[in-house]
Structure 1
Amino acid sequence: MSDASDGRVRGWLRALLRLTSLRLRLVTVFALVALVAAVSVSGIAYWLNRDAVLTRAQNTALRDFRKSLGDRATTLTESPMCNDLHSMAAGVAENTLDYQVVLIDEASDGQICQAESDPGRFNLDMVPASLIEAVHDRRDGDGSAEYHLYWQRISLDGDPFLIGGTRVIGGGPTGYMLASLSPEQDDLNSLAWSLGIATALAVVGSVLLAQAAATMVLRPVQRLSDAAQRLGEGKLDTRLEVRGADELAELTRTFNSSAASLEQRMQDLSARESASRQFVADMSHELRTPMTAITAMTEVLEDEVDNLDPMIAPAVQLVVSETRRLNDLVENLMEVTRFDAGTARMVLDDVDIADQVTACIDARAWLDAVEVNADRGIIAELDPRRLDVILANLIGNALKHGGSPVRVTVREERTAAAGGGHDVLVEVADQGPGIPDAVLPHVFDRFYKASASRPRSDGSGLGLSIAMENAHLHGGDIDVHNAPGGGAVFTLRLPRQARLPEHEAAGAEHRGGATAAGGAG
Structure 2
Amino acid sequence: MRAAAARQGGGRAVLADADPHGPRGRLPPGHPAVSEPAPGRLRGVASGLLRWTSLRLRLVVVFALVALTAAVSASGIAYWLNRNTVLDRTQNAALKDFRTQLAERTRSLPLHPACEELRDAARQMAAGPQNYAVLLISEDSAGKPCAATTDKDLLNLTTVPKSLQKAVEQRRPVDESNKAPYHLYWQRQEIDDGPYFVAGAKMIGGGPTGYMLKSLATERQDLNSLAWSLGVATLLALVGSALLAQAAATTVLRPVQRLGTAARELGEGKLDTRLRVTGTDELADLSRTFNRTAERLQQRVEELSAREASSRRFVADMSHELRTPLTAITAVTEVLEDEAESLDPMIAPAVQLVVSETRRLNDLVENLMEVTRFDAGTARLVLDDVDVADQVTACIDARAWLDAVELDAERGIMARLDPRRLDVILANLIGNALKHGGSPVRVSVRTEGEWLLVRVRDHGPGIPEEVLPHVFDRFYKASASRPRSEGSGLGLSIALENAHIHGGEITAANSEEGGAVFTLRLPRDASRLTADGDGNRDGESGAGSGASAERQQRDGDGGTDGTAAEGER
Work out whether the TM-score is over 0.5.
Answer: yes
Mean CA deviation greater in 486-495 or 279-288: 486-495
Q: Does 1:401 align with 2:429?
A: no
Q: Does 1:188 align with 2:223?
A: yes
**Judging changes above 3 Å, is the alpha-carbon distance between structure 1 residues 456 and 483 closer, same or farther for their aligned structure 2 residues?**
farther
Letter in 2 for 1:91: Q
Deviations 1:40-84 (A, max 9, x none): 222222211111111111111111111111110122134421211
Residue 442 of structure 1 corresponds to 470
Q: Does 1:51 align with 2:95?
A: no
Deviations 1:175-220 (A, max 9, x none): 0111111111111122222222222222222222112111111110
- 2:494 paired residue among 456, 466, 476: 466
- Displacement of 1:241 in angstroms is 0.6
**Judging changes above 3 Å, is the alpha-carbon distance between structure 1 residues 433 and 98 closer, same or farther for their aligned structure 2 residues?**
farther
- Displacement of 1:124 in angstroms is 1.2
Q: Is the 8 A contact 1:30 1:206 kept in 2?
A: yes
Q: Does 1:205 align with 2:240?
A: yes
Unaligned runs of 5+ in 2: 1-50, 546-558, 564-569
Q: Does 1:133 align with 2:166?
A: yes
**Judging changes above 3 Å, is the alpha-carbon distance between structure 1 residues 93 and 500 closer, same or farther for their aligned structure 2 residues?**
closer
- 2:274 paired residue among 211, 227, 239: 239
- 1:81 paired residue among 91, 114, 121: 114
- 2:516 paired residue among 488, 493, 513: 488
Superposed, 1:11-410 pairs within 5 Å as: 20-143=53-176, 144-410=179-445
Q: What's the RMSD between the two structures over aligned residues?
A: 2.5
Identity over aligned pairs, percent: 68
- Displacement of 1:451 in angstroms is 5.4
For residues 76 and 101 of structure 2, the distance between their equivalents in structure 1, rounded to whole angstroms, comes to 37
- Displacement of 1:160 in angstroms is 1.4
Deviations 1:159-186 (A, max 9, x none): 2111100012331111011111111111
Letter in 2 for 1:120: D
- Displacement of 1:148 in angstroms is 1.2
For residues 183 and 311 of structure 1, the distance between their equivalents in structure 2, rounded to whole angstroms, comes to 132
Q: Is the 8 A contact 1:401 1:455 kept in 2?
A: no
For residues 329 and 71 of structure 1, the distance between their equivalents in structure 2, rounded to whole angstroms, comes to 129
For residues 317 and 483 of structure 1, the distance between their equivalents in structure 2, rounded to whole angstroms, comes to 38
Residue 7 of structure 1 corresponds to none
Partner secondary structure for residue 412 of structure 1: strand
- 1:430 paired residue among 458, 463, 466: 458
Residue 7 of structure 2 corresponds to none
**Judging changes above 3 Å, is the alpha-carbon distance between structure 1 residues 348 and 140 closer, same or farther for their aligned structure 2 residues?**
closer
For residues 475 and 103 of structure 2, the distance between their equivalents in structure 1, rounded to whole angstroms, comes to 117
For residues 271 and 512 of structure 1, the distance between their equivalents in structure 2, rounded to whole angstroms, comes to 24
Q: Is the 8 A contact 1:401 1:454 kept in 2?
A: no
Q: Is the 8 A contact 1:344 1:514 kept in 2?
A: no
For residues 341 and 291 of structure 2, the distance between their equivalents in structure 1, rounded to whole angstroms, comes to 72
Deviations 1:338-380 (A, max 9, x none): 2223333444333222122112112212112110011222222
Provide the aligned length of Structure 1 versus Structure 2: 498
Deviations 1:117-160 (A, max 9, x none): 12122101111122112212223333523321111111112221
For residues 293 and 65 of structure 1, the distance between their equivalents in structure 2, rounded to whole angstroms, comes to 134
Partner secondary structure for residue 126 of structure 1: coil
Partner secondary structure for residue 124 of structure 1: coil
Deviations 1:252-311 (A, max 9, x none): 111111111111222222222211111111110111111122223333333444554555
For residues 481 and 59 of structure 2, the distance between their equivalents in structure 1, rounded to whole angstroms, comes to 59
- Displacement of 1:440 in angstroms is 2.9
**So what's the TM-score if we normalise by structure 1?**
0.89
- Displacement of 1:108 in angstroms is 1.0
For residues 482 and 229 of structure 2, the distance between their equivalents in structure 1, rounded to whole angstroms, comes to 86
Residue 14 of structure 1 corresponds to none
Q: Is the 8 A contact 1:475 1:499 kept in 2?
A: no
For residues 168 and 280 of structure 2, the distance between their equivalents in structure 1, rounded to whole angstroms, comes to 76
Q: Is the 8 A contact 2:381 2:534 kept in 1?
A: no
Deviations 1:232-265 (A, max 9, x none): 0011111111111111111111111111111122
Letter in 2 for 1:292: T
**Judging changes above 3 Å, is the alpha-carbon distance between structure 1 residues 195 and 454 closer, same or farther for their aligned structure 2 residues?**
farther
Mean CA deviation greater in 155-164 or 381-390: 381-390
For residues 102 and 142 of structure 1, the distance between their equivalents in structure 2, rounded to whole angstroms, comes to 30
Q: Is the 8 A contact 1:102 1:115 kept in 2?
A: yes
Letter in 2 for 1:277: R
For residues 530 and 248 of structure 2, the distance between their equivalents in structure 1, rounded to whole angstroms, comes to 47
For residues 305 and 71 of structure 2, the distance between their equivalents in structure 1, rounded to whole angstroms, comes to 61
Larger RCO, structure (CA 8 Å, separation 6 or more):
2
Unaligned runs of 5+ in 1: 1-17, 416-422
- Displacement of 1:509 in angstroms is 7.9
Q: Is the 8 A contact 1:23 1:211 kept in 2?
A: yes
Mean CA deviation greater in 268-277 or 308-317: 308-317
